[in-house]
Amino acid sequence: MTILPPVISDGAHMWQIARDSGTLDLNSSYAYLMMCRDFARTSRLAWVDGRPAGFVIAYRRPARPDCLFVWQVAVDAAHRGHGIAARLLDDLVESELRDPSEPVLTVETTITEDNLASRTLFRRFAERWDAPLYTSDLFVAADFPDDHDGEPLIEIGPLTAPRTDPA
């Protein structure tokens, strides 16, 4: 597996993986192209045997540059269960932790209550990084104009470095 920051042309692959995930809120194809252009440094695309296998899209919060907000993580159905999502997150956060100008100290995301796979991914991430995990209200169902479940905020940090022993 190879993990790289995406380039603009990878936006189509990321959109397709998100579309086929069956769980993610699908953004427009344009949004994925923009993410690859404007947030490539804080995003990753995994390649297995020359084909896109999964991605993470994240960005530094403007009001808190030491905080990395993970917007979406998705793995193609053919590659699930092989730890790709965890490796994508670790690769990205390790890179951002080493940023000499502003190392990442905290990771945030929002996850619906019923998304057990994502909740497990981030709980295990917190365990690997030996960092506390906090949950609080951020977007409640009433905030959404459609029939969307609430998205509680998951905050993990402060970060130091991942454990090297098996989780």
For residue 96, what are the β-bridge partners? none
Question: What span, in angstroms and rounded, lies between the C-alpha atoms of 64 and 102?
Answer: 10
8 Å CB contact between 72 and 57: yes
Predicted confidence at residue 167, as pLDDT, reads: 43
Instruction: Tell me which residue has tokens 């470095």.
Output: 161
Whole-number pLDDT of residue 166: 44
pLDDT at 164: 57
Best CA proximity match to 43, nearest among 74, 80, 79, 88: 88
What is the 3-class SS of the chain, one letter each residue?
CEEECCCHHHHHHHHHHHHHHCCCCCCCHHHHHHHHHHCHHHEEEEEECCEEEEEEEEEEECCEEEEEEEEEEEECHHHCCCCHHHHHHHHHHHHHHCCCCCCCCEEEEECCCCCHHHHHHHHHHHHHCCCCEEEEEEECHHHCCCCCCCEEEEEECCCCCCCCCCC
Give pLDDT tens digits along the chain (167 positions): 999 999 999 999 999 999 999 888 888 999 999 999 999 999 999 999 999 999 999 999 999 999 999 999 999 999 999 999 999 999 999 999 888 889 999 999 999 888 999 999 999 999 999 999 999 988 877 778 888 877 899 999 999 766 554 44
pLDDT for residue 2:
97
The yes or no reply on domain 2-156 and CATH 3.40.50.170 is: no
Q: Give the domain ranges of the chain.
A: 2-156
